[in-house]
Structure 1
């Protein structure tokens, strides 16, 4: 064992204390951490060290070169990209995930059986979201891979409806996919799966400030398929305005027509935790597959999402993802292994941060986070609606505020305003385009955000807008 490696092993407790101290300092000051970096350093190529520096010296080099570029993306005023925070319990789970370094696949046998932790975590998430245990789920890196996993099984289902085994034979011809406002990750998934991102049949949305499926137009498009099976991608909270498709109506159509129903509920699905807003997901339990993103509103570290697929499709799932040298005989759940139920062969124990956080804070804890974020979004929306300089582009339906400058003649200045706002380092928001207007999105998903934060955000917005006038 070389000198630095031997030395690091001998003083691992000291090294971890250094990291702990630095981490605690960051977390204790996270509300003051800049949300954006303006002075981007010029990166210089580093020479590969011959014998290395050892961990303590490497930490010093990191702190000098890279630490100044780290932003408070898990802090209370980072409202861009629907980025959640990290609860203390989820940090504990994530640290232990790294320390234990399990390759989570199996539930029994010799060696690593940490898949039991993952299955229990899925059980807890189903309970939290009030979904039936007829779903089989697993952890992947994010909503993109969750959508990919669900749509891969949907592809296999659609092939079987046509008398083909897509996993073995590959795709030939076109497959029909219907959707109104799919997230870009679903479109990417269709591209990677060979289904074709241009093959989406766009269904109309409800008139007005809506992004939800017009059910009458959906049924019209379905009838034009003349009985052909298809995939429906519906929204459990759109990105711009958190609009929800009418799941009860889609369930009615599913009783009449033959299609795979996938719901992208990356963050909107957590409306199920709120007594006041759970009606938005009423009927989603009848879907064939659901995407839920954990590193958003569950507030666990990146990368974490779950796929939920009805257990009745377990054979289709195995046909899609099994390793060629590991075919199943009999019921795949009797010899369960995630190796044959999802894309990755190598995977961390991603479930542990979620398990810790759910066990630590429970249903009431998450209901408080969800309701609190929604309340903050509504409050900011109210202030914007009554402002002389800003206007809402859509009603605040849940936790995302979609707005723009009030004067339509100043559309060219929206980007300038957002850049100046983000440059303050006090808040971070992202641009969007909605109903033909340049807009801005502010997404509340962080467990630490408070009324004090939105007051500071609104005050900063007013200061910036005066500066650019």
Structure 2
């Protein structure tokens, strides 16, 4: 062990055995305890003051350093980072960063993430010699299935985000389509048209279709329900299915649309699956966490019948970024292996007998992303995540009440879960929406993102951070009132 302020005998012996070690590396190894202590103190300062740090910045670093011959050493490099880049790091993991759908990091997940870096495993195998850290991943998947109340017939794995989760699920779906028509797309390439049915897919889904060679424009659009909805019209879906005359297809449904968090009717889709032959994928990147709320879990009723599901952990699970999971029904694992296996590596053995994530997902190199999730789930349990989710829903509704009671703002859609989609009241103020949002974000006190909904310029505020409180709502609504009053006063003048 390294002692505070010094170097242990083990480290000293290691350094003496590497006389030719680079001087900076040698010095950093000796000073590692102090270096990590400095970073810990800096990290704690950031976390303890995250509510005061700006949510946006206009500061741009000037110039790009050239690579030095001898290097600077870590202590000097840390000084360089702080002087040049610390000022542009915003509190995207803080309580008032409501743009996109960005979570924070729970204390337990930070501990898990630090250990992930320190242990530095390339996570694939569960048994045999060498790294078997995938056993942690499989246990974490089981914990997630428990949290989401999903059956154990799903095989899951960790990827970087919703884009790669959707990509992984749809890659297996692509292989399923091929086998249905007597083709092996993984080996032969996509040689036939693939029917994709969906209503309002997330941009990451469209990107995945492009990457998979399916074609981002190769989508049969389904109508959505009336009355300000973004959910699939089931009757139109069945009509589109009948028009395919028995051809297999992939249905991509939403477990929470990005603008208004609308959910497709999973129970109705499950009934259609009994009647028709298709692959059912659910993009539930953040909406899947509705299951944690007793009052909202009905929104995902029936989702256990899907073939694949996307969940983004660095959103509502509140773990550090680059963390998502895919769930694919285990009955499709042979298709998954056909899609992802490293077939030219005989030393890996039979992929169905010797389990390795190498043969079940895109990356051949991956860190132990499961560990931050494992720590957070064990630390806070089902009740902890129920509290986080229900608090965010409560705050979203409080913010929505402010919008509803204001003469200057109006909701563009009802608040179904945790996202508030709104605009400035009155058609004459549509051109002022971006001006208002820019001024609001420029305060550095809150960050929201623009959108377009039903042809109107809008603003989205997503509540997923475990740190957000009623006080944050008060701070933001006061700012909004001040800014909109100034804008309207300028119009009058």
**TM tier relative to shorter chain:** over 0.9
* 1:360-439 matched pairs, under 5 angstroms: 360-439=379-458
Match of 1:88 among 93, 107, 115: 107
Aligned to 2:15: none
Structure 1 runs (4+) deviating above 3 angstroms are 326-334
Structure 2 vs 1, CA of residues 271 and 4 (structure 1 numbering), >3 Å: closer, same or farther? Answer: same
Any idea what SS the aligned residue of 1:30 has? coil
Aligned to 2:196: 177
Task: Answer with 175-184 or 319-328: which moved more.
Answer: 319-328
Aligned to 2:482: 463
Match of 1:230 among 243, 249, 252: 249
The reply on whether 1:16 has 2:36 as its aligned counterpart is: yes
The reply on whether 1:194 has 2:213 as its aligned counterpart is: yes
The reply on whether 1:320 has 2:339 as its aligned counterpart is: yes
* 1:45-84 matched pairs, under 5 angstroms: 45-84=64-103
Tell me how far 1:331 sits from its aligned partner. 7.5
Matches of 2:277 and 2:400 in 1, distance apart?
41
- Any gaps of 5 or more consecutive residues in structure 2? 1-20, 489-493
- Cα RMSD over matched residues? 1.2
Structure 2 vs 1, CA of residues 386 and 276 (structure 1 numbering), >3 Å: closer, same or farther? Answer: same
Structure 2 vs 1, CA of residues 137 and 76 (structure 1 numbering), >3 Å: closer, same or farther? Answer: same
The reply on whether 1:349 has 2:368 as its aligned counterpart is: yes
Matches of 2:348 and 2:369 in 1, distance apart?
28
- Any gaps of 5 or more consecutive residues in structure 1? none
The reply on whether 1:28 has 2:72 as its aligned counterpart is: no
Any idea what SS the aligned residue of 1:440 has? strand
Structure 2 vs 1, CA of residues 443 and 177 (structure 1 numbering), >3 Å: closer, same or farther? Answer: same
Aligned to 2:289: 270
Structure 2 vs 1, CA of residues 329 and 5 (structure 1 numbering), >3 Å: closer, same or farther? Answer: closer
Tell me how far 1:333 sits from its aligned partner. 4.6
Matches of 2:236 and 2:350 in 1, distance apart?
40
TM-score, structure 2 length as denominator? 0.94
Aligned to 1:103: 122
Matches of 1:139 and 1:329 in 2, distance apart?
20
Aligned residues of 1:314 and 1:332 also touching (Cα < 8 A): no
Matches of 1:324 and 1:438 in 2, distance apart?
50
Tell me how far 1:328 sits from its aligned partner. 10
The size of the alignment, in residue pairs, is: 468
Tell me how far 1:47 sits from its aligned partner. 1.8
Aligned residues of 1:315 and 1:332 also touching (Cα < 8 A): no
TM-score, structure 1 length as denominator? 0.98
Aligned residues of 1:323 and 1:340 also touching (Cα < 8 A): yes
Matches of 2:201 and 2:99 in 1, distance apart?
19
Aligned residues of 1:318 and 1:340 also touching (Cα < 8 A): yes
Tell me how far 1:254 sits from its aligned partner. 0.3
Matches of 1:442 and 1:75 in 2, distance apart?
14
Aligned to 1:7: 27
Aligned residues of 1:77 and 1:428 also touching (Cα < 8 A): yes
Aligned to 2:3: none
* 1:335-346 matched pairs, under 5 angstroms: 335-346=354-365
The reply on whether 1:117 has 2:139 as its aligned counterpart is: no
